[in-house]
């Protein structure tokens, strides 16, 4: 892959074979950002799990201490008084069958769906559409709930979901370059703790194989797990 001049120069600041201290790695991720905008900073975990096994297909959500720096549009599918609760909590869109029909017709102007359990029967029919996009509500991530107000407020405050890909990697955004290393480190630690907390009991050997951080369009930087406290 041919890289631009800015990327090549930024990559020279990173020692490929070195695993950096968490804050040092995040500071470097900020310094090596080549984007003209306030780039996101992502963390990637390579885990020793097999997502094909139910007990190892870990999934969950966490509210980052400093948020993500992104504004997420929330759609709440619910009925009756719950619609007022969702609206007052700051949901961008609220409705029931009419919203489901709208999605079925190709509307996707939202980032997260929160639904009450009684609406999942109807919403479940769109599984083939919502599933591949990672938009189907799930009790494990707190997006299928009767407490729609709490769910909306947490998402707006910086709640992020984590789930492995087919080979056991988890990638998440932990903030923006403008956050600086200290705030990014706090978010990183929250994510790390959450993933360690759901370690499957059937894992043999090392659970975390590799951790790296990078800004949007920036080079990857390895993180030393020994530096995480």
Over residues 1-22, the pLDDT tens digits come to 667 787 777 778 888 889 999 9
In this predicted structure, what is the pLDDT of residue 2?
Answer: 61
CA-to-CA distance for 14 and 103, rounded, in angstroms? 44
Give the single-character DSSP code of 68. Answer: -
Give the pair of three-digit tokens for residue 6.
């800015």
pLDDT per residue over 115-131, tens digit each?
Answer: 999 999 999 999 999 99
pLDDT of residue 53: 92
Handedness of CA 118, 123, 128, 130 (dihedral sign): negative
Distance CA 218, CA 147 (A): 39
Q: Give the pLDDT score at 228.
A: 86
Strands 208-215, 60-63: pairing kind: unpaired
Grouping H, G, I as helix, E, B as strand and the rest as coil, residue 137 is coil
CA end-to-end span of the chain: 36
What pLDDT, on a 0 to 100 scale, did the predictor assign at position 164? Answer: 93
- Measured CA to CA, the distance from residue 164 to residue 52 in angstroms comes to 10
Q: How big, in percent rounded to 5, are the helix, strand and coil portions of the chain?
A: 40, 20, 40
**What is the predicted pLDDT for the residue at 136?**
95
* Burial class of residue 181, CB neighbours in 10 A (0-12, 13-18, 19+): buried
Contact between 15 and 223 under an 8 Å Cβ cutoff? The reply is no
pLDDT of amino acid 182: 96
Q: What pLDDT does 12 receive?
A: 81
User: What value, to the nearest 5°, has the Cα angle with vertex 96 and ends 92 and 98?
Assistant: 95
pTM for the model stands at: 0.82
For position 1, what pLDDT does the model report? 60
Give me the residues of the chain with pLDDT under 70, please: 1-2
Query: Angle at Cα 197 formed by Cα 193 and Cα 198, nearest 5°?
Result: 130
């Amino acid at each position: 892959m041919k890289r631009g001049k800015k990327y090549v120069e930024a990559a020279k600041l990173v020692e490929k074979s070195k695993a950096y201290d968490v804050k040092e790695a995040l500071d470097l991720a900020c310094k090596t950002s080549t984007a003209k905008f306030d780039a996101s900073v992502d963390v990637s975990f390579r885990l020793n799990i097999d997502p094909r096994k139910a007990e190892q297909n870990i999934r969950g959500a966490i509210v980052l201490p400093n948020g993500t720096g992104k504004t997420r549009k929330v759609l709440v599918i619910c009925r009756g008084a719950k619609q007022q609760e969702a609206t007052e909590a700051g949901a961008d869109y609220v409705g029931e069958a009419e919203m489901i029909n709208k999605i079925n017709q190709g509307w996707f102007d939202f980032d997260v769906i929160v639904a009450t359990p009684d609406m999942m029967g109807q919403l479940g029919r769109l599984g083939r559409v919502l599933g591949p996009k990672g938009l189907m509500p799930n009790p494990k991530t707190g997006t299928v709930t009767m407490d729609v107000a709490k769910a909306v407020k947490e998402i707006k405050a910086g709640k992020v979901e984590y789930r492995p890909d087919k080979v056991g990697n988890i990638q998440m955004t932990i903030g923006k370059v403008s956050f600086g290393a200290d705030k990014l480190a706090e978010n990183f630690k929250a994510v790390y703790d959450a993933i360690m907390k759901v370690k499957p009991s059937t894992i043999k050997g090392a659970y975390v194989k590799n951790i790296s951080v990078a800004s949007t369009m920036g080079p990857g930087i390895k993180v030393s797990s020994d530096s995480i406290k």
